[in-house]
Amino acid sequence: MAQLVTILSMLPGAVGIYLGFYYLSADPKTALAIVTATTVGITGIIAFVRHVVFHKFDARRLGWETDRPDWMFEVGFANLAFGFMGLLPVFLHWGEKAEALVLIGYAVYLFQAALLHGYRYFTDEKKLTARLWRSCLTTLLYAGMMTYFACNAVVMTTN
């Protein structure tokens, strides 16, 4: 079940980015709403479940097993907060600037997490390739695409 939750936490964001690029030229507002709701909203809420409900599996997956999972809960709560903030501006129609702000906030959060995973990869004696590819490089790419959509929204709203 925990492995399924891990896969489910990545799927909505990937689909959202794909649909965002699909709709970007024809309907940039819809593209932004889709990306915000999926990459931040749905993904953040599922990440909360992964970090809190399945914290033992997630810590093992990351190579950070501990008897005190408080920090996993804290990360989960941050994801839940972002998750709700990813859904609110979309479904309450707060506008593109609010959606862009949420995207940038979560992208900065993920960028920092990716840097931490990269640091851990290069400084640990045991080099886990999953940490480098999934936790560092794909997270950097994901945060970069979120930032692209946020910047596109800012340009779109200033014209």
Q: What is the mean pLDDT of each run of 10 residues along the chain (159 residues)?
A: 74 95 93 97 93 76 73 90 97 96 96 91 80 84 95 79
Which domain, by its residues, includes 32? 2-158
Domains: count for the chain: 1
CB 79 within 8 A of CB 110: no
Say what the pLDDT of residue 43 is: 95
Query: Cβ distance 72 to 50 under 8 Å?
Result: no
Predicted local distance difference test score (pLDDT) of residue 59: 66
Closest CA to 135 of 18, 50, 45, 37: 50
- Burial of residue 29 (CB within 10 Å: 0-12, 13-18, 19+) is middle
